[in-house]
Amino acid sequence: MLIKDSVNLTKAVKSIGIKGRIIEGEDLKKHTTLKIGGEAKYFIVPFDGEDIAKIINFANDNQVPYVILGGGSKILFPDLIFKGIVINLNNHFFKKIILDKEYVKIDAGVKINELLGWMLRNRLGDWEFLAGIPGTLGGAVRLNAGVRDLTEANNYLQIGDFVKEVTVLDKNGKLLRLDKKDLKFDYRESNLSNFVILQVILTKGEKKDISHIKKRINNFLNYRKKTQDLKSPSAGCVFKNPGNNKSSGELIELSGLKGKRIGDVAVSKKHANFFINLGKATAKDFLTLMEYVQRKVNYDHGVWLNPEIHIIRNL
Ligand SMILES: Cc1cc2nc3c(=O)[nH]c(=O)nc-3n(C[C@H](O)[C@H](O)[C@H](O)COP(=O)(O)OP(=O)(O)OC[C@H]3O[C@@H](n4cnc5c(N)ncnc54)[C@H](O)[C@@H]3O)c2cc1C
């Protein structure tokens, strides 16, 4: 039977019977790079995939919304309370990295900087382009994280090109293995929006000299320092680049919006597609500034910018 009142729902959540931890009223600001958000009604740190399957089934049976949270670097939570379950994979239970002959099996909760540290220790190259991208591998694969390479060719490097297989739970909590032919990666997107990514198999990079790997990592990090606003909390780029020859950042800048501020959210003066939290920013201010920028850019350039950031709303 559907549980409608909050007290009984809390009792029911606590009796799902998982091995992980359930926290009531966790402050979501602590878990996002933007430092915006209210509380999660239920914040769950699962121990394993079985825990997550139980939570999914509970959520389905009781029509409770749930959200997967990785490193929180591309997500905006509502201000007051998220009336659902946040399943946090950025925890110490989802951190294994297993080196195989040709592949590397990596848990979804491994953070990108942890992965790069491991890569350096094992002298494996090829994923240096991920340097400086905050968040977890699960989030990176879900969003097909990537950057331009720093060569004349200006090629695009994306994690999706290295994914061989992904272990996921589907909407019914069923464990599935999806291999390359089942997977689709586009610009900042994948066909994994209806799954919880548990583990990823990446093709192993070439054995390389450690100084070569370090140099490449530093090149990517230095480029970020030069071009991105890394001193204030943000979620990286707010809007996807439109498919024309100008980036969202260029269009916002051409509209004269660098520094535009609503409440404590401002368009970065360094990178116009970054919105920064000046201290006490709210989701309401963030969304208002997004809409203001969308309307102004549309008015000036006839282009409607689509969000890259994932916006979580209460139903
Ligand atoms: C300073 C800065 C610079 C950045 N630079 C870049 C860049 O160069 N390139 C780039 O691509 N991105 C960049 N980003 C954005 C962000 O870091 C990436 O998109 C990152 O991959 C998001 O991972 P996350 O774990 O933080 O995801 P979260 O923010 O936690 O989640 C984002 C979305 O993915 C889903 N998700 C997360 N984990 C899982 C999982 N295991 N299974 C299923 N769904 C999941 C969430 O439900 C949510 O919908 C930047 C962000 C910042 C703050």
Residue type, 305: L
Q: Please state the domain extents for the chain.
A: 6-88, 97-227, 248-311
pLDDT at 315 over 90: no
pLDDT band at 172 (very low <50, low <70, confident <90, very high): very high
Query: Which residue owns the Cα nearest ligand 1 atom 43?
Result: 196
Nearest atom within ligand 1 for CA of residue 69: 30
By the 8 A CB rule, do 275 and 265 touch? Answer: yes
Quote the ligand 1 centre to 309 CA distance (angstroms). Answer: 9
- What pLDDT shows up at residue 217? 95
Say whether domain 97-227 belongs to CATH 1.25.40.80: no
Low-confidence winner among 54-63, 145-154, 168-177 (lowest mean pLDDT): 145-154
Which CATH number is associated with domain 248-311?
3.90.78.10
Residue nearest to atom 51 of ligand 1 (CA): 236
Integer Cα distance of 305 and 98 in angstroms: 40
Give per-residue pLDDT as tens, 12-50: 888 899 999 999 999 999 999 999 999 999 999 999 999
Dist CA 103 CA 122 (whole Å): 13
Residues near ligand 1 (Cβ within 6 A) = 33, 67-75, 89, 108, 133-136, 138-140, 142-143, 145-147, 196-197, 228, 230, 234-236, 310
Nearest to residue 222, comparing CAs of 126, 118, 123, 147? 147
pLDDT tens, position by position, 101-135: 889 999 999 999 999 999 999 999 899 999 999 99
Topology of domain 6-88, CATH = 3.30.43
Structure tokens at 23: 């926290």
99 C-alpha vs ligand 1 centroid, how far in Å?
A: 24
